[in-house]
Chains A and B, each alone.
Chain A
């Protein structure tokens, strides 16, 4: 199962290789080259639309390898078709299939690069297999835990959860009282009690403050 949204129609490549045609056969030939180079180098760079298209084919090939293993004849044929360098067939079944056995996400990722300038203004992209030995493409995220917004929010969260626990205890007590007196409230009033309204006001005011502070921090 492919775990990212697929386009309903295949992308058409115009002039995939200089001097070659642009029909469906050339398209598949081009994709075979890209898939082999991806599995060889584990990270490749090129035009964004082509990277997106090769991603699906590489992922489906690994899917088949995981599903059927190397004893299945049709999958072996597919691997033989799609991997132009034959030593990579061994890598597909012995290295990649066990690596992605228990992944719940997609096996590959695409990162968009800035458009080429000077040039035709096309977007480029990096396609990589997950779990590769290279350093990460996306820089390590900033430590945002000690930002003012996060500190204030986490403090407010402690109060919020404490209040909720207290309210639950109160509700359980009040339910027993209601059962004793056998009073029947209407459905709307059952949910709403005075305490909860007060609590709402508190929470609303506190969140408003955070929003403002958040904006200021971002602007700074």
Chain B
């Protein structure tokens, strides 16, 4: 009888996948919670700010307060010793490596915006470049498509051919984080990371957990998609948020300088869903697609990329291969190959130069540009 009661509870909790969960063989480690779909264009802002319910608690209660300085130093040393001498998961047999084809979707990187600088092309035109640094990236976990579809991160009705790969950036001091957060990194064998992201990839581009990722994952001249969170501007009116023209400045207009005007017509219809209205602006994921990589600095792991990426200074950026069909065809015609599934240090036959420039870009180490005389 207890099972029957449990069934009722689960039916209330779950809207979409009731049958799949009641199968006896399926074992799901993550908590079962309602994934309610939000329809319409905009989703309520607080739900976006709050972390997803299946995320583990990140920060631990501070216990370091009462320790003496010698003991704090000891704990630092122990952490360093533990992570440096840990048996790496990479010592097992490496996973099979495939060749790049246009149907492959590779993993991406997690970077930080560090500034904008001008650069010049070889014909003398000036362009602006966004600098993105990639600080200490590692692969944390890979889940194949079959398991990924059972998890709560999977959105219903989305394509089933992708698995998920988690990438983390910036290894931090382990004593500040909870035990549940530590357990995420057991498989990869790296210290806990400050920031995590997930990329959807095809199974032939899967990377073993624990492998470091660097700038060489991409090539110069490649086109990428960059997505980041826009600057949060709080509750804004209709003119700033959606670019409405507002009302007239004079000619008898009272209290109607920045208003939206009429919202809808008729008593029965009501307001259309997704109507542009005042509300919370910014703090939202936006992608800039097909951004060119102009230059790579291998010493500091910095990408020089076309300008226009959303977000403030020192904001996180997800960088991914572009998915445009025409661009992929150009790669195939040029016979380009990308490091699959990623770049390994053993691949390098020659040491890389400090700066790798695009063919069109002017290297700053060369003499100034001159044009030849033609008749």
A and B touch in the complex (CB under 8 A): yes
Residue ranges of A at the interface with B (Cβ–Cβ < 8 Å): 142, 144-145, 147, 149-150, 153-154, 156-157, 160, 164, 186, 188-189, 191-192, 196-197, 199-200, 203-204, 207, 211, 214-215, 217-218
What are 11 contact pairs spanning A and B, CB under 8 A? A144-B66, A144-B68, A156-B74, A157-B71, A160-B77, A191-B84, A191-B85, A197-B85, A199-B85, A203-B78, A215-B63
Which of B33-41, B87-95, B247-255, B270-278 is found at the contact surface with chain A? B87-95
Cβ proximity bits B60-84 to A, threshold 8 Å, 1 near / 0 not? 0001001110110011011001101
Instruction: For the complex, give the distance between the alpha carbons of A64 and B87 in Å.
Output: 55
Dominant secondary structure of chain A at its interface with chain B: helix
Query: With contacts A188-B90, A218-B66 known, is A150 near B78, CB below 8 A?
Result: no
B-side contacts of A149, CB under 8 Å: 66-67, 71
Q: Is B86 part of the contact surface with A, judged by Cβ < 8 Å? A: yes
CA of A215 to CA of B63 in the docked complex: distance in angstroms?
A: 7
* Interchain CB contact under 8 A, B77 and A153: no
- Other-chain contact of B66, A147, A154, A186, A196 (Cβ < 8 Å): A147
- From residue 86 to 132 of chain B, which have CB atoms closer than 8 A to chain A? 86-88, 90-91
Residues of A within 8 A of B91 (CB): 186, 188-189, 192
Q: How far is the CA of A152 from the CA of B87 in the complex (A)?
A: 27
Contacts of B77 in A (CB 8 A): 160
A196 to B81 Cα, complex, angstroms: 9
Given A160-B74, A203-B82, A204-B82, decide whether A192 and B66 contact each other with a Cβ distance below 8 A: no
The 6 A-B pairs at the shortest CB distance, nearest first, are namely A157-B74, A188-B91, A196-B85, A153-B71, A144-B66, A214-B63
Cβ of B81 and Cβ of A150 under 8 Å apart? no
Residue of A nearest to B85 (CB): A196
Q: How far is the CB of B108 from chain A (nearest CB, A)?
A: 25
* Chain B residue nearest to A188 in the complex (CB): B91
| A157 close to B70 (CB less than 8 A) | yes
Chain B interface residue number, banded? 10 to 19
**CA of A215 to CA of B60, assembled, Å:** 12
CB <8 Å contact, B63 and A192: no
Distance between Cα atoms of A80 and B68 in the complex (Å): 46
A200 and B82 contact, Cβ closer than 8 Å, known pairs A144-B66, A211-B63, A218-B66 = yes
Known A189-B91, A191-B84, A200-B85; contact A154-B71, beta-carbon cutoff 8 A = yes
A156 to B91, CA, bound (A): 31
CB neighbours (8 Å) of B74 from chain A are 153-154, 156-157, 160
Q: What A residues does B84 contact at CB under 8 A?
A: 191
Interface pair A150/B85, CB less than 8 Å apart:
no
Interface SS of chain B: helix
**A117 CA to B230 CA, complexed, in Å:** 40
Cβ of A194 to closest chain B Cβ, rounded Å: 10
A199 to B82, CA, bound (A): 9
In the complex the two chains form, what is the Cα distance from A207 to B64 in whole Å?
Answer: 13
**Known contacts A153-B67, A160-B81; 14 further A-B pairs (Cβ under 8 A):** A154-B68, A154-B70, A186-B91, A188-B91, A189-B91, A191-B88, A192-B91, A197-B85, A203-B82, A207-B75, A207-B78, A211-B63, A214-B66, A218-B63
Q: If the complex has contacts A153-B74, A157-B74, A203-B81, are A192 and B67 also in contact, measured as CB distance less than 8 A? A: no
Taking a contact as CB atoms under 8 Å apart, the answer to whether A150 and B71 are in contact is yes
Residues of B within 8 A of A154 (CB): 68, 70-71, 74
Nearest CB in chain A: distance from B290 CB, A: 34
Q: How distant is B185 from chain A, measured CB to nearest CB, in Å?
A: 14
Q: Chain A nearest CB: distance from B63 CB in Å?
A: 5
* Chain A residues positioned under 8 Å from B82 (CB to CB): 200, 203-204
Let me know if B68 and A197 touch, CB within 8 A: no
Q: Are the CB atoms of A192 and B71 closer together than 8 Å?
A: no
Contacts of A203 in B (CB 8 A): 78, 81-82
Write the nearest CB–CB distance from B105 to chain A, whole angstroms: 29
How far apart are the CA atoms of A66 and B135 in the complex, in Å?
A: 39
Contact with A along B7-42 (1 / 0, CB 8 A): 000000000000000000000000000000000000
CA distance A87 to B87 in the complex (A): 69
For B90, list chain A residues within 8 Å (CB).
188
| A219, chain B: closest CB distance, angstroms | 11
Q: A153-B74, A192-B88, A192-B91 are in contact. Are A144 and B81 (CB under 8 A)?
A: no
Smallest CB separation, B179 vs chain A (Å) = 9
Which residues of B sit under 8 angstroms from A204, Cβ to Cβ? 82
Contacts of B75 in A (CB 8 A): 153, 207
Known A157-B74, A160-B77, A207-B78: A150·B66 in contact at CB below 8 Å: yes
Which residue of B is nearest A218, CB measured? B63
Bound-state Cα–Cα, A186 to B68, Å: 41
Q: Which residues of B contact A188 (CB under 8 A)?
A: 88, 90-91
Q: Chain B: which residue is nearest A206 at the CB level?
A: B78
Task: Decide if B68 touches A150 in the complex (CB within 8 Å).
Answer: yes
Q: Quick check: B68 and A145 within 8 Å, CB to CB?
A: yes
Least CB separation from A191: chain B residue: B85
If A153-B71, A191-B85 touch, does A160 touch B66 (CB 8 Å cutoff)? Answer: no
User: Min CB distance, A195 to chain B, in Å?
Assistant: 10
CB distance from B116 to the nearest CB of A (A): 18
Docked Cα-Cα span, A147 to B63, in Å, equals: 13
Residues of B within 8 A of A142 (CB): 66
A196 to B74, CA, bound (A): 18
Q: Tell me whether A164 and B88 are in contact (CB under 8 A).
A: no
Contact partners of B67 in chain A: CB under 8 A: 144, 149-150, 153
